[in-house]
Amino acid sequence: MTTPYDMSARWTLGWRVLAAAAFAVVGFSVAFSTPAGWPAAGRFWVLYSALLIWYVVIQRLGRGGMVRALPWSYGFYLVGLVLWAMILSLHPATYAFAAFMFPATYSLLSIRYSIPSGIALSGVMFLAGNGWRLKVGTGDILAILLAVASSVMLALFIHSIIRQSIERKLLIDELESTRASLASAERNAGMMVERQRLAQQIHDTVAQGFVGIVTHLEAAEATPDGTGPGIRTHIAEAKALARESLEEARRLVWDLRPDLRDGAPLPAVLERQLAEWSARTGIRGEQVVTGSARELGPNRETALLQAAREALNNVKSHARASRVTVTLSYMEDEVALDVQDDGGGIANGRGSGTGGFGLKALDERVRGLGGRLTLESQPGEGTTLTVSLPAEPGG
């Protein structure tokens, strides 16, 4: 669909082509159709060059179809009017300069002054055609009325395109600003979700482990004789809890690391993440990519990376699996991530809400991006976590 901004750009290009053609036609006509000893040749070429410079400056002032209604622009218009009046009296071919004089004037002045300025240009053409004598007949009156009407209509037409172009540009700028604000709000919301998830995980794992360690150490300290099997049991339990808490702390640090993408595509980042997880847990991992990989935007790619991490953490903690397959599928209108293990499965069956706080937070994040999260599992048949996201915003 052609927008007002596109129309303004096309019309501006069209006027410039006409101006170039007018200068070329007038220049060739004077150079090859006038006698060698034409006495006005020097004056003509000086005015020709001055009018060319004037037009080039006009294009710089009115670049992009913007109205330049500045205090000194009216004086600049008068300079062009005088130059054209002077060159019109030297050679009839210079009437071709009307192709750019009118649109250049309308792009330089505001609508309030464009109409009388265009009428003045028409008056100059009329007087020059009559040898700068004011003689008005019936035909001349009709010609004047037609020239004035054409000038007014052309002024209104050009300014309507310019106004629509400006309004369109302002609307686009406002939409881009709104989009940037929404992206910032979405990032802040994602940060809040991650903070809540991290706080809950620290409370459920590391903090509870420290509570258990302190409890066992206090129990050992309260043993009457300070020796015996009871105190050794409490110390052993405290050591076991310390090891588990250390492992949970390492897992949390692994989750919070930057993606370390360095411009790498999502499949490469997922493959690196899976390899590190396999080396750390001893569980064999395999990655499969279907479809043509493409950019999905930072929010969607981050959500898919977080989904893979959460699924792998659950496999390590609960599945008792020996193998995990991560499948990234690029489809026409969506992208899907499947993490499938061969572990013991979940007794509760299906449901995206199955799991701890991490899966619930991930489900909220995926829903916020217009996607869906599902968890399919049967006892003894493994578990598959699937995250599907639209390929485009609002898809």
pLDDT at 387: 92
Under the banding of pLDDT at 50, 70 and 90, the label for residue 326 is very high
Pick the most confident of 75-79, 200-204, 269-273, 334-338.
334-338
Q: What values do phi and psi take at 120, rounded to 5? A: -65, -40
Arithmetic mean of pLDDT, 56-75: 61
Under the banding of pLDDT at 50, 70 and 90, the label for residue 378 is confident
Please tell me the distance from the alpha carbon of residue 114 to that of residue 103, in angstroms, as a whole number. 10
Mean pLDDT of all residues belonging to the chain: 75
Under the banding of pLDDT at 50, 70 and 90, the label for residue 174 is confident
Arithmetic mean of pLDDT, 200-229: 75
Under the banding of pLDDT at 50, 70 and 90, the label for residue 65 is very low
Give counts: helices (H), strands (E), the chain: 11, 5
Please tell me the distance from the alpha carbon of residue 305 to that of residue 255, in angstroms, as a whole number. 10
pLDDT of 2 over the 60 cut: no
Where does CATH 3.30.565.10 sit in the chain? 264-395
* Contacts with 108 (C-beta within 8 Å, 6 or more apart), sequence order: 58, 61, 62, 67, 68, 73, 76, 77
State pLDDT tens for residues 106-154.
777 766 677 777 777 777 777 776 666 666 555 555 656 666 666 667 6
Please indicate whether residue 232 or residue 1 has the higher confidence score (pLDDT).
232
CA distances from 311 to 65, 281, 293 (A): 56, 14, 22
pLDDT at 338: 92
Please tell me the distance from the alpha carbon of residue 349 to that of residue 53, in angstroms, as a whole number. 80
pLDDT of 195 over the 70 cut: yes
pLDDT at 358: 66
Please tell me the distance from the alpha carbon of residue 365 to that of residue 357, in angstroms, as a whole number. 12
Strand, coil or helix: 344: coil
Arithmetic mean of pLDDT, 144-168: 67
pLDDT at 327: 93
Arithmetic mean of pLDDT, 364-377: 86
Please indicate whether residue 329 or residue 67 has the higher confidence score (pLDDT).
329
Under the banding of pLDDT at 50, 70 and 90, the label for residue 30 is confident
pLDDT at 266: 86
pLDDT at 71: 60
Under the banding of pLDDT at 50, 70 and 90, the label for residue 354 is very low
Handedness of CA 363, 367, 371, 377 (dihedral sign): positive
pLDDT at 74: 73
Under the banding of pLDDT at 50, 70 and 90, the label for residue 231 is confident
Fold category of 264-395 in CATH: Heat Shock Protein 90 (3.30.565)
State pLDDT tens for residues 263-295.
678 888 888 888 888 888 888 899 999 988 888
Q: What values do phi and psi take at 325, rounded to 5? A: -120, 125
pLDDT at 61: 65
